[in-house]
Amino acid sequence: MNPSKGLLAALLLGVLAITPALAECQIADAKLEEAILQKPDLRGPENRQTVKDLRSLRDAAFTLWTYGRHADCERLMANIRELIAGPNMSSLGDNDEDAAEEQMAAKDPKVQRGAVKGRRDEKDAKPLVPVDELPLGLRADQIIGAEVRSSDDKIIGEVRNVVFGTKDRRDYAVVASGGFFTPGKDSIVVPLRALKVSQERDSFFLLIPNAEVKGVPLMPDQNYTWLLDEAWRTRNDALFGRP
């Protein structure tokens, strides 16, 4: 098991056990990026996920700060500072794999496919924009985690990953069909150029209705070996009306 798998859950629970915090949270004082730069063990490949987790925790602290929860923010930052100053990160983590899996599963969104009606039929709904026609492009954080709907405005799931076809420049969104991500079972692979986006950039839309989505093949595996299968990609892409 990846030792960092239980890190986020363990630390967030540990926040409650820290002594009373200062009134003002000083996120910059943790000097996380400086520590990553200066500590070779934090830059090692075995700690790559752990560094991502630490950054996620720092982002969570900032979110608490923006809501005025400075004491909670400082308690979380105290955990981050303790980890940065502690032993090799790869030695940390919960060894109870079943418990860790249960904790990780709790964060998966539970959205029933087709259950939530959208707002496309509202009189003031603005036209959708094809992704490849966006004048300012699209950031990764604007698409990962965003909801995906069918052309008839039924919820399909959410984007849980983006795969860039660096060799042939055919990029894909891995959409967790049904609303939660189970690699190899419930994901469909959608060409980015076959998506439209709302002008608010909060919802992405397929070019096909919900009834046709059920005929889309599921993601073959979690290692993305389907990228090497040109015939499979051609059949898959054609289902989405990709230009």
Residue percentage of the chain with pLDDT more than 70: 70
pLDDT at 23 over 70: no
- Residue 10 and residue 27: Cα distance in Å, rounded? 20
Domain-located, residue 187: yes
Q: What is the pTM of this model?
A: 0.58
Domain-located, residue 83: yes
User: Does 82 share its domain with 45?
Assistant: yes
User: Does 135 share its domain with 169?
Assistant: yes
User: Does 100 share its domain with 139?
Assistant: no
Using the 3D structure, point to which of 53, 73, 105 is the last residue of a domain.
105
- pLDDT band for 17, please (50, 70, 90 cuts): very low
Tens digit of pLDDT for each residue in 184-196?
Answer: 456 889 999 999 9
At residue 90, φ and ψ (nearest 5 deg) are: -70, -15
pLDDT at 237 over 70: yes
For residues 113-141, give the mean pLDDT. 77
Domain-located, residue 74: yes
Residue 36 host element (H or E): helix 32-38
For residues 217-232, give the mean pLDDT. 80
Q: Three-state SS string across 38-51, please?
A: HCHHHHCHHHHHHH
Domain-located, residue 86: yes
User: Does 134 share its domain with 227?
Assistant: yes
Predicted pLDDT at 102: 63
Domain-located, residue 119: no
- pLDDT band for 51, please (50, 70, 90 cuts): confident
Domain-located, residue 110: no
Predicted pLDDT at 145: 81
User: Does 165 share its domain with 93?
Assistant: no
Using the 3D structure, point to which of 57, 72, 105 is the last residue of a domain.
105
- Maximum CA extent, the chain: 60
Angle (CA) 227-231-234 rounded to 5° is: 80
User: Does 41 share its domain with 95?
Assistant: yes
State the CATH number of the domain containing residue 135: 2.30.30.240
Predicted pLDDT at 112: 46
State which residues form the domain around 81: 3-105
Tens digit of pLDDT for each residue in 208-224?
Answer: 998 998 889 887 666 77
- Residue 107 and residue 56: Cα distance in Å, rounded? 14
> DSSP string spanning 122-163?
STTPPPPEEGGG-TT---HHHHTT-EEE-TTSBEEEEEEEEE
Q: How many separate domains does the chain show?
A: 2
